Amino acid sequence: MLTINRKYLLILSLLSLLLNAGLLYVFFYKGEKVVVSPDGRKEIKMSEKNRAFVMREMRGFLESVQQINEGIAKNNPGIIAKVGNQSGTCKVNGVPQGMIKSLPFEFKQMGFGTHELFDEMTKMAKENYNRQQTQEKLNQLLNNCVACHKTYKITTE
């Protein structure tokens, strides 16, 4: 009797482990509803409201990139110093409930890395502005935009 119970317990624990690993994979790593789109990109599905949120943030990114470039062109770090407020990691707090689990791990990593780079640009502009290094950082930032756009698209469910 006892041995059968132990076997049951073992099987149940293994099943629960597998289930947990599966859930972790779906919600944390792969993203809740991610499919491969016919154009080869990974398609993330989310609510219309959440997509609108991400796209608003994207337009903010573009505006910040424009400001950084203007700062470099005019050699005026004051313009660059503002981008952290618009596109830095402070923006991560405002992400709507339920959106995180719809995003694949790699997307979150690239997205967060991009917010961090905007903070770094602000810091550089405020503390030790150097035109050449700012331009190199901007290039690093743009590589992030390109890499993510190549890999993902977002549609509504």
Residues that bind ligand HEC (CB under 6 A): 55, 58-59, 61-62, 65, 107, 110-111, 114, 141, 144-145, 148-149, 152-154
| Other CB atoms within 10 A of residue 151 CB | 14
Min dist CB 60 to ligand HEC, Å, is 9
Residue 8 CA: distances (Å) to CA of 13, 87, 123: 8, 52, 58
137 close to 117: Cβ distance less than 8 angstroms: yes
Return the closest-CA partner of residue 26 out of 108, 101, 97, 112: 101
Cα–Cα dist 103/106, whole Å: 8
Q: Between residues 9 and 63, which has the closer beta carbon with respect to ligand HEC?
A: 63
Nearer to ligand HEC, 66 or 75 (CB): 66
Residue 140, C-beta contacts closer than 8 angstroms, at least 6 positions apart: 117
Q: Which is nearer to ligand HEC, 46 or 77 (CB)?
A: 46
CB of 49 to ligand HEC, least distance (A): 14
Judged by beta carbon, residue 8 or residue 112, the one nearer ligand HEC is: 112
Kindly state the smallest distance separating residue 138's Cβ from ligand HEC, in Å.
9
Q: Which is nearer to ligand HEC, 80 or 154 (CB)?
A: 154
Q: How far apart are CA 135 and CA 141, in angstroms?
A: 10
Min dist. Cβ of residue 57 to ligand HEC (A):
8
Least Cβ distance, residue 55 to ligand HEC (angstroms): 4
